[in-house]
Amino acid sequence: MDADSTAWERRSVVRVVPPVEPRKLAKVPFVELADGRLQGVVSSGSDIERVYVSSITAGTHALSCSTNNNRPCGALHGYACKHIRMLADEAVVQYGLDRVARYLRVEVPEGGNLMHEITGHVERTPAAVVFSRFLRHLAYLEVPDSTEPLAELHWFPATGAVR
Ligand SMILES: [Zn+2]
């Protein structure tokens, strides 16, 4: 038994760049700072088949949330729904508070909460753009060999009809 070659084989697994802290992929499978927005995909708390596309626009802090089929989120009325809050929480985990606050152009006091400073109006942004970016992200995603179910790939079968 050659211990060196075994170690090499173990190391040959493709590595994914780790976020600042481990993320809850099942709840927020996709988050990015792009197109002048913090945007991403948030799974529904009640319905496993449904996802929300949520975003906060940099500068204006306009809030948007709808399902991947462009149905408006019923919980978004003038203040952020829980999907946008979850997205913001995950963005802070993924990128760190400083980077998210800088991108959105918001001042967060020392020890403060990002969402306390976000007071934008509701503005519907089309979910399709963000959702197709999410699907592309999945297509390029390289994952290590694992027998565990993959939270991100879980969304593939349900969304195949979108293409
Ligand atoms: Zn929502």
- Span 94-118, mean pLDDT? 94
Question: Is the pLDDT at 4 greater than 80, yes or no?
Answer: no
Q: Separation of 73 CA from ligand 1 center, angstroms?
A: 5
Q: Separation of 24 CA from ligand 1 center, angstroms?
A: 18
Residue 133 three-state SS? helix
Q: What is the pLDDT of residue 77?
A: 86
Residue 79: which pLDDT band, with cuts at 50, 70 and 90?
Answer: confident
| Ion ligand 1, residues whose Cβ is below 5 A away | 52, 65, 73, 75-76, 81, 83
Q: Separation of 2 CA from ligand 1 center, angstroms?
A: 54
Q: Separation of 78 CA from ligand 1 center, angstroms?
A: 11
User: Which among 71, 68, 43, 83 has a CA at the least distance from the CA of 161?
Assistant: 68
Look at phi and psi of residue 59 and say left if phi exceeds 0, alpha if psi is from -120 to 50, else beta: left
User: pTM of the entire structure?
Assistant: 0.72
Q: Separation of 56 CA from ligand 1 center, angstroms?
A: 12
Q: Separation of 120 CA from ligand 1 center, angstroms?
A: 14
Q: What is the pLDDT of residue 75?
A: 92
What digits encode the pLDDT tens for the residues 29-49? Answer: 899 999 999 999 999 877 777
Q: What is the rounded distance in angstroms from the CA atom of residue 116 to the CA atom of residue 137?
A: 30
What digits encode the pLDDT tens for the residues 6-30? Answer: 554 555 444 555 666 666 667 898 9
* First-residue to last-residue Cα distance in the chain: 48
